[in-house]
């Protein structure tokens, strides 16, 4: 992850060791918002076949204002 947003996330997992194709491993990502900006980045995971990028999108609250006459 980018250096400027790395501290906003707590990532925990237990490495399962060698895995067969089709198996899953849970990864818990906890987000602590500390800035009022949208964050679009990715979480890189290194596997035996190469790097995998999991997209992360954190958006701040937005309001859609409409006015009727």
C-alpha span between 11 and 41 (Å, rounded): 15
Which residues fall within 8 angstroms of residue 52, CB to CB, at 6 or more apart?
A: 44, 45, 46
Render pLDDT for 13-60 as a digit per residue (tens, 0 to 9). Answer: 887 888 888 888 888 989 888 888 899 999 888 877 889 998 999 888
C-alpha span between 19 and 52 (Å, rounded): 16
| Cut 0.85: pTM above it | no
Taking CA atoms, 42 is separated from 6, 12, 45, 60, in Å, by: 11, 16, 10, 17
C-alpha span between 63 and 69 (Å, rounded): 19
């Amino acid at each position: 992850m980018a250096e400027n947003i790395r501290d906003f996330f707590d990532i925990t997992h237990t490495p399962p060791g060698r895995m067969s194709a089709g198996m899953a491993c849970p990864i818990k990502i906890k987000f602590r918002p500390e800035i009022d900006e949208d964050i679009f980045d990715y979480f890189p995971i290194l596997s035996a076949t190469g790097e995998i990028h999991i997209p992360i999108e954190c958006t701040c609250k937005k309001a859609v204002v409409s006015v009727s006459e």
